[in-house]
Amino acid sequence: MEPIIEITGLVKRYNQAELNAVDGITVEVRKGEIFGLLGPNGAGKTTLISILCGIVKPSEGQVRINGIELQSGLQDIKKIIGVVPQEIALYPSLTVKENLTFFGKLYDLKGLELQESIDIWLNKFGLIDKMNHRIETFSGGMKRRVNLIAGLLHKPQILFLDEPTVGIDVHSRAVITEHLKEINQNQGVTIIYTSHHMDEAEYLCTNISIIDSGIVIAGGSPKNLLKQNKDCNRLADIFLKLTGKSLRD
């Protein structure tokens, strides 16, 4: 498989920060992968994703997405990527449908095409009955699902998900992971995904990078990682072994 994201020597130091949030990361994501970015709090996962979708300017290093240089080709890249932010990024006083219609229109989607796309996703995520309810009346799990749909409407080729399953119950999580797998297999969407749920990552990801303090400390397929660490039964054990047990900021 050809690489779709090529990251070389990427560094990010925020203004007034003492340490680099991303400290020289070199990673390749191949087309059609579900790529897991795992790491403790403050490891630099959100920063890395933010650089990849053009919200944060890198301090050093190169990024190419779909063969296009990130800095110069950002507008073209934006059209093919979808982003699901870590925080719920919706208007609380607007209904599900109003939110999704607005975000769809940001991508110049309109009319029937947009409405159909919204209906399909709402159906899949069990929200079709709630489409005229305001976001502020929703539970955390329902908000997460809408947050996810808002990143999918324009049929992106690459999907960045920053902790899409944080703070939700087992049912919602199962629905989300199932649909992510389906999008990946049926539509060939490359998924880059961060999580603290190791079992979820183990089940979902074809490839992972464990990062800590802005650097990659391990990488490969879950299977290979388990092979390399014979003393560990699960990905979670490897994670703890590699990142230590001290608390993070």
Per CB under 8 A, the list member of 6, 23, 28, 98 interacting with another protein is 98
End-to-end CA separation in angstroms for the chain:
37
Of 103-111, 170-178, 204-212, 219-227, the segment contacting another protein by CB under 8 A is 103-111
By the 8 A CB rule, do 60 and 9 touch?
yes
Taking the least distance from each CB to ligand ATP, the nearer of 68 and 215 is 215
Half-sphere exposure of 158 (CA within 13 A, CB side): 22
Instruction: Name residue, tokens 């608390």.
Output: 247
State CA 65 to chain mean position distance: 15
CB of 44 to ligand ATP, least distance (A): 4
Per CB under 6 A, the list member of 33, 34, 38, 44 interacting with ligand ATP is 44
Question: Using CB distances below 5 to 8 A depending on partner kind, what does residue 42 bind out of ligand ATP, another protein, Mg ion, none?
Answer: ligand ATP
CB of 122 to Mg ion, least distance (A): 27
Site for Mg ion contains 50 (CB under 5 A): no
Taking the least distance from each CB to Mg ion, the nearer of 27 and 127 is 27
Per CB under 8 A, the list member of 11, 56, 215, 242 interacting with another protein is 56
Q: Beta strand pairing status for 34-38 and 207-212?
A: parallel
Q: How many CB atoms lie under 10 A from the CB of residue 11?
A: 16
Question: CB under 8 Å to 155, separation ≥6 — which residues?
Answer: 117, 187
Site for another protein contains 19 (CB under 8 A): no
Question: Using CB distances below 5 to 8 A depending on partner kind, what does residue 124 bind out of another protein, Mg ion, ligand ATP, none?
Answer: none
Question: Using CB distances below 5 to 8 A depending on partner kind, what does residue 201 bind out of ligand ATP, another protein, Mg ion, none?
Answer: none
Q: Is 245 exposed, middle or buried (CB count within 10 Å of its CB: 0-12, 13-18, 19+)?
A: exposed
Site string for ligand ATP, 82-101 (x = CB under 6 A): ----x---------------
By the 8 A CB rule, do 175 and 125 touch?
yes
Q: Indicate the Cα dihedral angle 223, 224, 226, 228, nearest 10°.
A: 170
Taking the least distance from each CB to another protein, the nearer of 110 and 234 is 110
Contact footprint for Mg ion (CB under 5 A)? 46, 86
Contact footprint for ligand ATP (CB under 6 A)? 14, 17, 21, 39, 41-47, 86, 249
